[in-house]
A and B are shown apart, each in its own frame.
Chain A
Amino acid sequence: MAVEKRVLFKSWWLPWVLIAPQMAIILVFFFWPAGQALYQSVLTQDAFGTSTEFVGAENFERLWNDPTYLASFQTTAVFSVLVAVVGLSVALLLAVMADRVVRGAAIYKTLLIWPYAVAPAVAGVLWLFMFAPSVGIVSYALRELGFDWNHLLNGKHAMALIVMAAVWKQISYNFLFFLAGLQSIPKSLIEAAAIDGARPWRRFWTIVFPLLSPTTFFLLVINIVYAFFDTFAIVDTATNGGPGKDTAILVYKVYYDGFKALDLGGSAAQSVVLMVIVIALTVVQFRYVEKKVQY
């Protein structure tokens, strides 16, 4: 453990002033909406908010009694694990490759960072175009290969589609952090291992990967949160949660009930459930997974 770095301030108010802007942003954009969600979750309102009624835990009871809501937990788990695992693996592979490139490295890096500038809804539409059963270029190629792609009626295909779109959207972010992580690994360590006769594969698993673990852990947390919260636009544009409810992840239902069905109470109750899940997941990750991380 490194010695903690501490700065001592002479005046008592300066530290508070320095963190005030950040605190203000957190309060206004995080705590206030979260409080609103908690408050809304025990109310039922008509669409225009002209009548409000306190209903206690009724919104939550309704969720509990809805088998399709319970089923979407499983869908969400599958989706999040796939997005995190595939997203991190592909990004790591790309980062390792980009790290070795000497010529035109800037071009590769720029191209890899581009998708991050694309809005999730646009990412959903892009992938939808490529995989549209009758006109999409990829589905056409698949059909030529004898594979009948139809995400409109095949739940597995639909899940694959939204995972691809969600992973693609997040890959730049993961790539950037992995690349920075790789570049901060001292070259001398790797060279020493190479002199000792370790092959690239072995060098990667025994030196690079463990030294990257803080980055990997950070990205794991970020990606899980991303899959849980930021992917509704992809689902909305690519599959609408279908076929049936096969791709209706939790956050999509929050969006649908709140913004399409105009049921703010029910939507808020689901946000609260999601909030609890993510808090629990983050605690678990910091308690148990972090122990395996070498700083």
Chain B
Amino acid sequence: MKSKLFALSSFALAAALAGPAHAQVEIQWWHAMGGGLGEWVNDLAKDFNASQKDYKIVPTFKGTYDETMTAAIAAFRAGNAPHILQVFEVGTATMMASKGAIVPVAQVMKDAGLKFDPSVYVPAVAGYYTAPNGQMLSFPFNSSTPVFHYNKDAFKAAGMDPESPPKTWPEVALAAAKLKASGHKCPFTTSWISWTQLESFSAWHNTLFATKNNGFGGLDTRLAFNTPLHVRHIENLANMNKQGLFVYKGRGNAADATFVSGECAMVTGSSALYGNVKRNAKFASAISTLPYYPDVSGAPQNTVIGGASLWVMAGKKPAEYKGVANFFAFLSKPEEAAKSHQRTGYLPVTIPSYELTDKSGFYKQNPGTDVSVTQMIRKTTDKSRGIRLGNFVQIRTIIDEEMENIWSGKKGVKEGLDTAVQRGNEQLERFEKANKS
């Protein structure tokens, strides 16, 4: 009744002003999705805008993840932040600590009076973006996890069965040796060294990457990736590097392109690399689970997430927050979430969307696309739930630097990992000090 009256009066007002028949609330959404993923984001906004008349989502591409975050911070300081901001997973702790700058998603949904059930979201994903008190802080938009991509044609050429990829690290080394013998210059490489070889490696082997349950248990967490198991793995990679079985291709996702071009035959990288490979690779490829060491008890456990989530910025009008809530509800619809998952290779946001995809036969038609899901939808342990550290951007760079020192032979494996832990801990101590209040 009230809303009808409001609608009527606003209609009259709009008519009187000779403006558009209906006053739409505009909602700014800053994101970091370029190329094909950018088209996906624009389609989502278009579909939502077409589905109702009250709100209009305006997506804006702001560059890479860190450029987007920097732009939003500058805008916030100047008093004109967007309503919705996409932040990569390593920025999560920073966002959580900035209490005055954000509004928890659970709060936004509640204030809008929309039904909101956190239990439908994939636990390993939603858990990452949930505060210790159980309140969901950001909306899990695009989550990925590291998987193992391999070139089936190269496997065939090396005399291996393309349908049985290596499952363990010793098998990876063997396969790499065969690929090299068949003339391959780059048998194995990896993107996101820290994420794939240390963070996910730890969770996958049910071992801590950092104390206090990888930072979930408090800000006094400290790095712990210099155990004998970690040293063993990095030593293994360093040896493969010396023999030309593992080739270092640079920081971040630089190695992705070398797999898509066919230069490297095996890569550990994001599950979201799938879309790129499907579109651009000129060879048959497949996805398998992340390799592990079979003699480690508890392995394989589960992998950790990457990707990004959507944060709601503080200081906006109630009507605008209502629009944000409606948009998130739209994204959570099983059919919408399933469509996004199948289009991009990102993890399904909700369990129903996963079930819907499963029922549709998508995984059967596209073998390997369910690997990321099965790696993630498992009962997590305290050691494997995820990794949430302050100053994580710097810690990842420190790991990149020390790993390069290991590959180039400038430092021994143990020495390099110890230095990375010690330098990273300084970052954690600073973050703890700055956010203790």
Taking Cβ atoms with an 8 Å cutoff, the residues of A that contact B are 44, 46-51, 62, 68, 134-135, 152-155, 240-245, 256, 259-262
**CB <8 Å contact, B70 and A259:** yes
- Interface with A: B95-103, B113-121, B212-220, which one? B95-103
Q: A153-B248, A261-B394, A262-B73 are in contact. Are A242 and B400 (CB under 8 A)?
A: yes
Give the chain A neighbours of B401 by CB distance below 8 A.
Answer: 241-245
Give the chain B neighbours of A155 by CB distance below 8 A.
Answer: 408
Q: A242-B251, A244-B410 are in contact. Are A48 and B76 (CB under 8 A)?
A: yes
**CB <8 Å contact, B186 and A153:** no
B43-95 residues at the A interface, CB under 8 angstroms = 66, 69-70, 73, 76-77, 94
Q: Identify the 8 closest CB pairs spanning chains A and B, nearest first.
A: A50-B100, A243-B404, A48-B101, A153-B408, A244-B405, A48-B98, A261-B394, A49-B77
Q: A153-B408, A242-B404 are in contact. Are A46 and B434 (CB under 8 A)?
A: yes
User: What is the size category of the interface that chain B forms with chain A?
Assistant: 35 or more
Q: Across the two chains, which residue of chain A brings its CB closest to B402?
A: A244
Q: Across the two chains, which residue of chain B brings its CB closest to A243?
A: B404
Indicate if B36 sits at the interface (CB-CB under 8 A): no
Give the chain A neighbours of B261 by CB distance below 8 A.
Answer: 135
C-alpha gap A294/B73 in the complex (Å): 51
**CB <8 Å contact, A243 and B408:** yes
Q: A50-B101, A134-B185 are in contact. List 16 more A-B contacts (CB 8 A).
A: A46-B434, A48-B100, A134-B263, A135-B261, A153-B407, A240-B397, A240-B400, A242-B404, A243-B405, A244-B401, A244-B404, A244-B408, A260-B66, A261-B391, A261-B394, A262-B393
**CB <8 Å contact, A47 and B408:** no
C-alpha gap A259/B391 in the complex (Å): 13
Indicate if B180 sits at the interface (CB-CB under 8 A): no
Q: Supply 13 A–B pairs (Cβ within 8 Å), ascending by A.
A: A48-B77, A49-B76, A50-B98, A50-B101, A51-B437, A135-B261, A153-B408, A242-B401, A260-B393, A261-B393, A262-B70, A262-B94, A262-B393
C-alpha gap A172/B117 in the complex (Å): 62
Give the chain A neighbours of B77 by CB distance below 8 A.
Answer: 48-49
Give the chain B neighbours of A51 by CB distance below 8 A.
Answer: 100, 437
**CB <8 Å contact, A47 and B98:** yes
**Closest CB-CB distance, B213 to chain A, in whole Å?**
24
Give the chain B neighbours of A260 by CB distance below 8 A.
Answer: 66, 70, 393, 397
In-complex Cβ contact of B94 among A47, A68, A259 (8 A): A47
Indicate if B249 sits at the interface (CB-CB under 8 A): yes
Q: A46-B98, A48-B98, A50-B98 are in contact. Are A153 and B73 (CB under 8 A)?
A: no
Indicate if B258 sits at the interface (CB-CB under 8 A): yes
C-alpha gap A261/B296 in the complex (Å): 36
What does DSSP make chain B's interface, helix, strand, loop or mixed?
helix
C-alpha gap A240/B404 in the complex (Å): 12
Indicate if B435 sits at the interface (CB-CB under 8 A): yes
Give the chain A neighbours of B435 by CB distance below 8 A.
Answer: 46
**Closest CB-CB distance, B292 to chain A, in whole Å?**
27
C-alpha gap A68/B401 in the complex (Å): 11
Q: A49-B77, A134-B263, A262-B73 are in contact. Are A154 and B100 (CB under 8 A)?
A: no
**Closest CB-CB distance, B157 to chain A, in whole Å?**
19
C-alpha gap A240/B185 in the complex (Å): 25
In-complex Cβ contact of A48 among B73, B397, B404, B410 (8 A): B73
C-alpha gap A187/B66 in the complex (Å): 56
**CB <8 Å contact, A240 and B251:** yes
In-complex Cβ contact of A154 among B393, B405, B408 (8 A): B408
**CB <8 Å contact, B99 and A50:** yes
B373-406 residues at the A interface, CB under 8 angstroms = 391, 393-394, 397, 400-402, 404-405
Q: Across the two chains, which residue of chain B brings its CB closest to A49?
A: B77
Q: Which of B77, B97, B250 has the most CB of A within 10 A?
A: B250
Give the chain B neighbours of A134 by CB distance below 8 A.
Answer: 185-186, 249, 258, 263
Q: Across the two chains, which residue of chain B brings its CB closest to A46?
A: B98
